[in-house]
Amino acid sequence: QDPQERRTAVPGVATGLAVTGAGGDVLYIEASLADPETGGSGLQLTGQLGDVMKESAQIALSFLRSHGAELELPVGDLKDRGVHIHVPAGAVPKDGPSAGVTMTTALASLLSGRRVRTDVAMTGEVSLTGRVLPIGGVKQKLLAAHRAGITTVVIPKRNEPDLDDVPAEILDALDVHPVADVRQVLALALEPAGSAAAPQEPEVPLAA
Amino acid sequence: QDPQERRTAVPGVATGLAVTGAGGDVLYIEASLADPETGGSGLQLTGQLGDVMKESAQIALSFLRSHGAELELPVGDLKDRGVHIHVPAGAVPKDGPSAGVTMTTALASLLSGRRVRTDVAMTGEVSLTGRVLPIGGVKQKLLAAHRAGITTVVIPKRNEPDLDDVPAEILDALDVHPVADVRQVLALALEPAGSAAAPQEPEVPLAA
Amino acid sequence: QDPQERRTAVPGVATGLAVTGAGGDVLYIEASLADPETGGSGLQLTGQLGDVMKESAQIALSFLRSHGAELELPVGDLKDRGVHIHVPAGAVPKDGPSAGVTMTTALASLLSGRRVRTDVAMTGEVSLTGRVLPIGGVKQKLLAAHRAGITTVVIPKRNEPDLDDVPAEILDALDVHPVADVRQVLALALEPAGSAAAPQEPEVPLAA
Amino acid sequence: QDPQERRTAVPGVATGLAVTGAGGDVLYIEASLADPETGGSGLQLTGQLGDVMKESAQIALSFLRSHGAELELPVGDLKDRGVHIHVPAGAVPKDGPSAGVTMTTALASLLSGRRVRTDVAMTGEVSLTGRVLPIGGVKQKLLAAHRAGITTVVIPKRNEPDLDDVPAEILDALDVHPVADVRQVLALALEPAGSAAAPQEPEVPLAA
Amino acid sequence: QDPQERRTAVPGVATGLAVTGAGGDVLYIEASLADPETGGSGLQLTGQLGDVMKESAQIALSFLRSHGAELELPVGDLKDRGVHIHVPAGAVPKDGPSAGVTMTTALASLLSGRRVRTDVAMTGEVSLTGRVLPIGGVKQKLLAAHRAGITTVVIPKRNEPDLDDVPAEILDALDVHPVADVRQVLALALEPAGSAAAPQEPEVPLAA
Amino acid sequence: QDPQERRTAVPGVATGLAVTGAGGDVLYIEASLADPETGGSGLQLTGQLGDVMKESAQIALSFLRSHGAELELPVGDLKDRGVHIHVPAGAVPKDGPSAGVTMTTALASLLSGRRVRTDVAMTGEVSLTGRVLPIGGVKQKLLAAHRAGITTVVIPKRNEPDLDDVPAEILDALDVHPVADVRQVLALALEPAGSAAAPQEPEVPLAA
Ligand SMILES: [Ca+2]
Ligand SMILES: [Ca+2]
Ligand SMILES: [Ca+2]
Ligand SMILES: [Ca+2]
Ligand SMILES: [Ca+2]
Ligand SMILES: [Ca+2]
Ligand SMILES: [Ca+2]
Ligand SMILES: [Ca+2]
Ligand SMILES: [Ca+2]
Ligand SMILES: [Ca+2]
Ligand SMILES: [Ca+2]
Ligand SMILES: [Ca+2]
């Protein structure tokens, strides 16, 4: 796949891992900030998210509202610009707390303008202090990440024992990072600020 | 049909394609902006839209709130003027994510003042970054477009394999455009800014 | 009936047509604007209206918010004064999209100060661009209009074929106007601005 | 009963008539306006009111918001002071449109500072233009009014035929006023502005 | 019990009487006003209150919003400071209108800074004009008050006949006050403004 | 466990005790304040909290809004900064009033910048005046605290009789503090203001 066509080719998109009825799967968390001129405000959540997943988004946002300035993120944008978090596919119901790290990463990517590494996927609940809490489905999620061409996976430190159940060839192929704090996820997953890569916007002029 | 009587004769209306119990059908997405003098604000959605379709409208609006300025659209209007998206017929319940491209096009048409081409219909889910995601019912939708006199149809790139199931005479008669980004839809479907056509308002004076 | 006692003797009231369990019936749509001094704002809907009928009211209001200035209506009033639309009788549930033209007419009457002609009744769904869309029950509605002493009835152009089922003596007695745009309804149904008629308020002084 | 102990001894209380499982009954509509200093605003409704009765209160308020100034009521108070309408007893569910005239009268009494006549009870739906529409239970309501010592009853003009079913001795004892407009009710039921009567507040000092 | 440990040792707490599945019981209504610096506003209700009891709190507040200034209460506090009414125990559902007098007393105590007499308990519905309306369970409530060491009980005047069912020794031990207006309750239950008593705040310094 | 890795290593986190289907358990209450620059406001509650537990959070906040200044807490922060209270794990439903003391402590810790002692756990309902009310499950909670390495436990004074059921070796190992007022909890559980300890933020730089 052309790197420019990858979902994470623009800041604000992070790759998560989910367990579905049919095993594990990769999902993308997309975040956007409204142009201040447009008067957008507040937090908009779409993608048929369940209660627990909506709360994960609120936790991610509150973490950045209280700790973002320490991370040198321009948090004033959260005041003047509406935040929208969407999880395609639009018609598929989703729930659970394990997208917490992915939501936090998508928002931090958007605020910083630093893209998320295309080779990294992640899973983990986040608490309000940034702690990464354990989740389920580690084996299925790693298999799905590998199938999707991901090479680096972030998991909660407290899920390390679950790696015993993952086939050795998968573990060999993947670079698995157990973490205890979401700040570690950000340090690992965000590309450097000035990294030269695909231009931020696809070259599709609107003018007729 | 007299061109002036067509639904897309004014900016803000785009032609979509839907699957109903009785096969495919053409539907129209109508968007309006309140006169700033009237104090209208926010986003109003009508037409008995289901949860997923309401979220599609919010995604379309957020896409333009964050990317509209790059497309040289006057996005400040979204602050000062209430947006209303309606999908006739008013009493028929509708749902699903596949009107995403149509809603985005109707809003961009309204903001730009450029009408949507009357010969174009479209279908496709839109993500928050403008990516066009696959939908269902390609065959029924193309048959319906053809029946309705449409000559150009926009579909998601990832739905190209579904064209195999469409009768050859329909494919011959239609100009089918598979796209990956909603910006491609806008470039294709919006008429040039200064195109001479039917006047924007039917000549029905109110004065008695 | 004394003309002054007619429901449409004051601006803001229009005569609609409905289908009930017992055939057709005449109904009145009443609209009011709060005195700006009273701090009223927003849109209030009463009369036990169902979802679809509430949406019709929002569409009527948005149509006037976006197109009212072209019709030389004082749309600034919609910012400073609360709008209330009520459909008596208060305890009877009502629903459906066919009061769209009547709601638009009542609001335009109120804004313009021009009364609605007492001899005119109307039925038709309205889209956000002002298009008049087809409705059901044409025969019952025309019979009810005739029973109520109405002489002019406005119906959607796309309902013209339904006139075949209406008894000839009813069609002879009525002046039926098929229309495609709500602006035609307003031109037909609103009395001229300076028409001499019953004073706007019944002469019932409050002072004891 | 000591006149000072009557429910209508203060402005803002009007006597209504209801049909209950056990025949008719008298009920009181109480209205209050918050001291502007207290920051109260909006419309508060209590008394376990059903949907239709809540709408009646909104109609009464909108009637006064749009027509109160013509009646020389100080409608600016509706902007600066919260309105509360309560219908005791607090735990008894109530519904229906027939308290419309009573609610309008209680609010007009409160705004004008003119008490409602203690000997008057009333029943009738009110439309947004002030028209009084017919209600049910005339016979039971008149019997209840008579039992409660009421001597004057206001009913809708269109309920006049129902008086045939009321026992002659009740009709003899009562002064029944059929009315078509709520302005007639106000003219009849409100005491003159400067009428000398019980002081507005019972003499119960709080100071210890 | 040490007077300082009594629930009513601080302004804003009043002793009510309730009927539960197991006879009567004493309950406490607690009210608080937010420090204006904290930006608290509006009315907060907690204690798993049912609809009728929530309405009682709104009536108590509206009574003080409209009549508090006559009672020389600093009602401007209701604008600048959030009001919270809580009824412990937090997990026990409660409902009914009979806490009206207790809620009004707790709020008046808070606004005036005058504590509620520790020996007084009360029961009674309050109307918007301050009238005290009858309630149920007089016998059980008086028994419960006596068991709890209460010596003075306020009941609605219209409940006087129910005293016939109360054992004579309870009536002898209690000072029962039937009242018709909530202003009588306040005059009876609030301690004088400058009464020397336990300090308003327990002496538990936070500093470590 | 490394002290720096403890949940209470930062201000705003307090250790509570809960009863679950499988006996008692330790839970953490996390509170955060949004950076005023971010425009956050109001109270956000997450962790799948039931109605009673949500009310506990509102009571804790109101207690600090009305009594925080007496405790020398910077309560103005509650106006300018959004408050978020979260109770991990995110997907586990929780309810009941017994986290009242823990919520109050977490908020007071956050406002004061003083950490909560890592060796202290607590349980107790709080009333609006700060009174600590009895809760259930004392035995299971003390066993859980002991298992988790806690050495000091705060319980409601009115739960002292329940200590009879707790095994002697647990009581020996624990320092149990029965309290009647939440101010006692704060004095006991908050570390001194200038205590040298782990730095407030883990050293995980975001810069790549
Ligand atoms: Ca749920
Ligand atoms: Ca590896
Ligand atoms: Ca749905
Ligand atoms: Ca072709
Ligand atoms: Ca419906
Ligand atoms: Ca004719
Ligand atoms: Ca209802
Ligand atoms: Ca008579
Ligand atoms: Ca209820
Ligand atoms: Ca006695
Ligand atoms: Ca509950
Ligand atoms: Ca011990």
Is residue A198 very low, low, confident or very high in pLDDT (cuts 50, 70, 90)?
A: very low
Chains that touch C (3 or more CB pairs under 8 A): B, D
Lowest mean pLDDT among D70-74, E76-80, F86-90, F174-178: E76-80
- What is the structure's pLDDT at B76? 93
In the predicted structure, residue D92 carries a pLDDT above the cut 80: yes
Euclidean distance between CA atoms D158 and F17, whole angstroms? 68
Query: Locate tokens 């809490």: which residue?
Result: A133
Residue D136: left if φ>0, alpha if ψ -120 to 50, beta else—which one?
Answer: beta
User: E22 phi and psi, to 5 degrees?
Assistant: -105, 40
- What is the structure's pLDDT at A39? 87
Cβ–Cβ of E125/D90 closer than 8 Å? yes
For the record, the structure tokens of F33 come out as 């304040």
Residue range F122-135, pLDDT digits in tens: 999 999 999 999 99
Cβ–Cβ of F84/A58 closer than 8 Å? yes
Percent of chain C with pLDDT over 90: 85
- Residue range A90-97: mean pLDDT, rounded: 95
Contacts of E7 in chain F (CB under 8 A): 129, 131
Lowest mean pLDDT among A161-170, B144-153, D3-12, F97-106: D3-12
Could you tell me how many CB contacts below 8 A there are between chain E and chain F?
Answer: 112
For the record, the structure tokens of A85 come out as 């978090």
Cβ–Cβ of D44/E58 closer than 8 Å? yes
The answer to whether the CB of C58 falls within 8 A of the CB of B44 is: yes
Which residue from D5, D30, D40 is facing E65, i.e. has the nearest CB?
A: D40
Interface of B with C (CB under 8 A): 5, 7, 10, 12-13, 28, 30-35, 37-40, 44, 46-48, 82, 84, 86, 88-91, 201-202, 204-208
With 0-12 CB in 10 A as exposed, 13-18 as middle and 19+ as buried, what is E13?
buried
Q: Classify E8 as helix, strand or coil.
A: helix
In the predicted structure, residue C185 carries a pLDDT above the cut 90: yes
Cβ–Cβ of B59/A84 closer than 8 Å? yes
Percent of chain B with pLDDT over 90: 85
Closest CA to F32 of F116, F123, F112, F106: F106
- What is the structure's pLDDT at E205? 46
Euclidean distance between CA atoms F134 and F125, whole angstroms? 6
> Where is pLDDT greater, at D2 or E131?
E131
Is residue F194 very low, low, confident or very high in pLDDT (cuts 50, 70, 90)?
A: confident
- How many angstroms is it from E45 CA to the middle of ligand 11? 14
Q: What residues of B are annotated to the active site?
A: 98, 141
Residue range D32-55, pLDDT digits in tens: 999 999 988 899 999 999 999 999
Is residue B196 very low, low, confident or very high in pLDDT (cuts 50, 70, 90)?
A: low
Q: Classify F103 as helix, strand or coil.
A: helix
Strand pairing report for F23-33 and F83-86: antiparallel
For the record, the structure tokens of B19 come out as 């699957």
Residue B23: left if φ>0, alpha if ψ -120 to 50, beta else—which one?
Answer: left
In the predicted structure, residue B40 carries a pLDDT above the cut 90: no
A and F: touch, per 3+ CB pairs < 8 A? yes
Euclidean distance between CA atoms A157 and A159, whole angstroms? 5
Is residue A207 very low, low, confident or very high in pLDDT (cuts 50, 70, 90)?
A: very low
Euclidean distance between CA atoms B61 and B107, whole angstroms? 8
Euclidean distance between CA atoms B7 and B26, whole angstroms? 11
- Residue range F57-63: mean pLDDT, rounded: 98
Q: Write out the residues surrounding ion ligand 1, Cβ under 5 A.
A: A 51
Residue range C97-146, pLDDT digits in tens: 999 999 999 999 999 999 999 999 999 999 999 999 999 999 999 999 99
Identified catalytic residue from E32, E56, E98, E109: E98
Mean pLDDT of chain E: 92
Q: Which residues contact C6 (CB under 8 A, 6 or more apart)?
A: C118
Euclidean distance between CA atoms D123 and C73, whole angstroms? 38
Cα of first residue to Cα of last residue in chain C, in angstroms, is 29
- What is the structure's pLDDT at E2? 64
Cis preceding-peptide flag for C89 (omega within 30 of 0): yes
Is residue C4 very low, low, confident or very high in pLDDT (cuts 50, 70, 90)?
A: low
- What is the structure's pLDDT at A1? 56
Lowest mean pLDDT among A19-28, A154-163, E183-192: A19-28
Euclidean distance between CA atoms F131 and F181, whole angstroms? 5
Euclidean distance between CA atoms A207 and A54, whole angstroms? 38
Percent of chain C with pLDDT over 70: 91
Query: What top-level class would CATH report for the domain A7-189?
Result: alpha beta
Cα of first residue to Cα of last residue in chain D, in angstroms, is 29
The per-residue b/e assignment along B2-38, b for 16 or more CB within 10 angstroms, e otherwise, is eeeebbbbbbbbbbbbbbeeeebbbbbbbbbbbbbbb
Domain E3-189 sits in CATH 3.30.230.10: yes
Q: Name the residue in chain E with its Cα closest to that of F185.
A: E206
C-alpha dihedral (C132, C134, C140, C142), degrees to nearest 10: 40
- What is the structure's pLDDT at A37? 92
Euclidean distance between CA atoms F186 and F33, whole angstroms? 19
User: B164 phi and psi, to 5 degrees?
Assistant: -60, -30
Give the number of other CB atoms < 10 A from CB of residue A3. 10
Identified catalytic residue from F32, F56, F98, F112: F98
Euclidean distance between CA atoms D198 and D3, whole angstroms? 7
Residue range A104-123, pLDDT digits in tens: 999 999 999 999 999 999 99
Euclidean distance between CA atoms C10 and C31, whole angstroms? 10
The answer to whether the CB of E91 falls within 8 A of the CB of F54 is: no
In the predicted structure, residue C17 carries a pLDDT above the cut 90: yes
In the predicted structure, residue D200 carries a pLDDT above the cut 60: no
Which residue from E97, E100, E129 is facing D13, i.e. has the nearest CB?
A: E129
Euclidean distance between CA atoms E49 and E85, whole angstroms? 10
User: A146 phi and psi, to 5 degrees?
Assistant: -65, -45
Closest CA to E129 of B140, C173, A159, D32: D32
For the record, the structure tokens of C71 come out as 């019709």
- How many angstroms is it from A177 CA to the middle of ligand 2? 9
Interface of B with A (CB under 8 A): 51-52, 55-56, 58-59, 62-73, 75-76, 78-80, 96-97, 100, 108, 114, 125, 127-131, 133, 180-181, 183-184, 186-187, 190-193
Euclidean distance between CA atoms E155 and E141, whole angstroms? 10
- E86 pairs with which residues across the strands? E30, E46
Complex ipTM value: 0.93
The answer to whether the CB of C190 falls within 8 A of the CB of C116 is: yes
- Residue range B119-126: mean pLDDT, rounded: 98
Which residue from A44, A84, A204 is facing B187, i.e. has the nearest CB?
A: A204
Mean pLDDT of chain A: 92
The answer to whether the CB of A85 falls within 8 A of the CB of A44 is: yes
Euclidean distance between CA atoms E72 and E204, whole angstroms? 32
Nearest ligand for residue D172 CA: 8
Euclidean distance between CA atoms C127 and C60, whole angstroms? 8
- Residue range F146-160: mean pLDDT, rounded: 97
Distance of CA C198 to the CA centre of its chain: 19
In the predicted structure, residue C188 carries a pLDDT above the cut 70: yes
Euclidean distance between CA atoms C133 and C131, whole angstroms? 6
- Residue range E159-187: mean pLDDT, rounded: 98
| F54 carries an active-site annotation | no
Is residue F1 very low, low, confident or very high in pLDDT (cuts 50, 70, 90)?
A: low
Could you tell me how many CB contacts below 8 A there are between chain B and chain C?
Answer: 112
DSSP string, D90-126: TTS-B--STTHHHHHHHHHHHHHTPPBPTTEEE--EE
- How many angstroms is it from D94 CA to the middle of ligand 9? 12
CA distance D198 to chain C (A): 19
- What is the structure's pLDDT at A193? 84
Strand pairing report for A132-133 and B13-20: unpaired
Residue range A29-71, pLDDT digits in tens: 999 999 999 988 899 999 999 999 999 999 999 999 999 999 9
Euclidean distance between CA atoms B5 and B11, whole angstroms? 13
Cβ–Cβ of E193/D206 closer than 8 Å? no
Q: Write out the residues surrounding ion ligand 5, Cβ under 5 A.
A: C 51
- Residue range D167-185: mean pLDDT, rounded: 98
B192: amino acid identity, one letter: P
DSSP H or E segment with residue A154: strand A152-156
| C41 carries an active-site annotation | no
Euclidean distance between CA atoms B6 and B137, whole angstroms? 25
DSSP string, D8-31: GGSTTEEEEEEEETTEEEEEEEEE
CA distance D100 to chain C (A): 10
- Residue range A124-148: mean pLDDT, rounded: 98
Percent of chain B with pLDDT over 70: 91
Q: Which residues contact C37 (CB under 8 A, 6 or more apart)?
A: D69, D75, D76, D79
- How many angstroms is it from F93 CA to the middle of ligand 1? 9
DSSP H or E segment with residue A26: strand A23-33
User: C145 phi and psi, to 5 degrees?
Assistant: -60, -45
Q: Which residues contact B197 (CB under 8 A, 6 or more apart)?
A: B3, B9, B115, B191
- Residue range E71-99: mean pLDDT, rounded: 95
In the predicted structure, residue E129 carries a pLDDT above the cut 90: yes
> Where is pLDDT greater, at D190 or A204?
D190
- What is the structure's pLDDT at B66? 97
Q: In what order do the strands lie in the sheet with A23-33?
A: A43-46, A83-86, A23-33, A13-20, A120-122, A152-156, A175-179
Q: What is the CB-side half-sphere exposure of residue B137 using CA atoms within 13 A?
A: 24
- What is the structure's pLDDT at B39? 87
The answer to whether the CB of B48 falls within 8 A of the CB of B8 is: no
- What is the structure's pLDDT at A199? 47
C-alpha dihedral (B92, C90, C159, C101), degrees to nearest 10: -90
Contacts of B12 in chain C (CB under 8 A): 128-129
Interface of C with D (CB under 8 A): 5, 7, 10, 12-13, 28, 30-35, 37-40, 44, 46-48, 82, 84, 86, 88-91, 201-202, 204-208
User: C46 phi and psi, to 5 degrees?
Assistant: -135, 165
Domain spans of chain E, in order of start: 3-189
Euclidean distance between CA atoms D141 and D124, whole angstroms? 11
- What is the structure's pLDDT at D194? 73
Mean pLDDT of chain C: 92
Is residue C16 very low, low, confident or very high in pLDDT (cuts 50, 70, 90)?
A: very high
- What is the structure's pLDDT at E91? 94
Is residue C40 very low, low, confident or very high in pLDDT (cuts 50, 70, 90)?
A: confident
- How many angstroms is it from F179 CA to the middle of ligand 12? 15
In the predicted structure, residue C9 carries a pLDDT above the cut 60: yes
The 3 state secondary structure assigned to chain B is: CCHHHCHHHCCCEEEEEEEECCEEEEEEEEEEECCHHHCCCCEEEECCECHHHHHHHHHHHHHHHHHCCCCCCCCCHHHHCCEEEECCCCCCCECCCCCHHHHHHHHHHHHHCCCECCCEEECCEECCCCEEECCCCHHHHHHHHHHCCCCEEEEEHHHHHHHHHCCHHHHHHCEEEEECEHHHHHHHHECCCCCCCCCCCCCCCCCC
Residue range C46-87, pLDDT digits in tens: 999 999 999 999 999 999 999 999 999 999 999 989 999 999
- Residue range E99-124: mean pLDDT, rounded: 98
For the record, the structure tokens of F13 come out as 């986190």
